[in-house]
A = this chain, B = another copy of it.
Amino acid sequence: MPDEVRDPRSRMVYSAVQLVRERGVTATGIRDVVEHASAPRGSFQHYFPGGKDQLVSEAVLWAGDFAAQSVTGYADTARRPTPSGLFAHMVKQWKRELTARDFQRGCPVMATAADLVAADTAVTEPLRTAMAHWQDAVTGELTRMGVPARRSRRLATVMLSTLEGAIMLARIQRNVRPLSTVVADLAPLLDDAVVR
């Protein structure tokens, strides 16, 4: 977490993201979050009157924003932005993260969806918003690179689907190879979509 984020409320949202990524929503207790965030006991109810649903909703939205920001940051770092370069950029962050933490933490959106999306909870809509935010960011970047708008949206679906599944495979296999494979094998498909 960036050092400047020091207030207990933000720390609790951040801690919720990390714990959910590791063990899922159901196994993440309020107490665990308060403790992980080093937040004052009893402050949870004050900051999250909507309870765990509110906390998890904010965690998911935080994750969607984070992912979207990373996507829009790619064009600033790349000399010649390409669709395959964007996908490689997204995947590279995951490879680094999975390797650094021994595959402990997966995607918070996947973890939340797996545990909660069947039930009609207050988290469903934030989950949808988080994914849409992330997907819109990818779509926008692809369009800027010259991929027609409708195709950009479709390829964003392909990229996010493939990334999510490959993260899951990598964690199961405790190996980043699935992530390397999807980057290399999707590259021609992605780059061929640019209309020059």
A residues contacting B by CB (< 8 A) are 22-27, 103-106, 109-111, 113-115, 117-119, 124, 127-128, 131, 154-155, 157-158, 160-166, 168-169, 171-173, 177-178, 181-182, 184-186, 188-189
Scoring A106, A114, A127, A177 by chain B CB atoms within 10 A of each residue's CB, the highest score goes to A114
- Provide the residues of chain B in CB contact with A131, threshold 8 Å: 169, 172-173
A185: which of B115, B154, B178 is its contact (CB, 8 Å)?
Answer: B154
Additional A-B contact list (12), CB under 8 Å, known A110-B168, A164-B164: A106-B113, A111-B114, A114-B114, A128-B172, A154-B185, A158-B162, A160-B165, A161-B161, A161-B162, A162-B162, A165-B166, A189-B189
Contacts of A169 in B (CB 8 A): 131, 157, 160-161, 164
25 pairs, A vs B, C-beta closer than 8 Å: A24-B114, A26-B115, A103-B118, A104-B118, A105-B118, A109-B168, A110-B168, A113-B172, A114-B114, A115-B115, A117-B171, A131-B169, A131-B173, A154-B185, A157-B177, A157-B185, A158-B181, A158-B185, A161-B162, A161-B169, A161-B178, A165-B166, A186-B189, A188-B189, A189-B189
The answer to whether A158 and B186 touch (CB under 8 A), given A23-B115, A23-B118, is yes
Kindly list the 7 A-B residue pairs having the minimum CB-CB distance in the complex, ordered from nearest. Answer: A161-B165, A164-B165, A26-B26, A114-B114, A165-B165, A24-B115, A161-B166
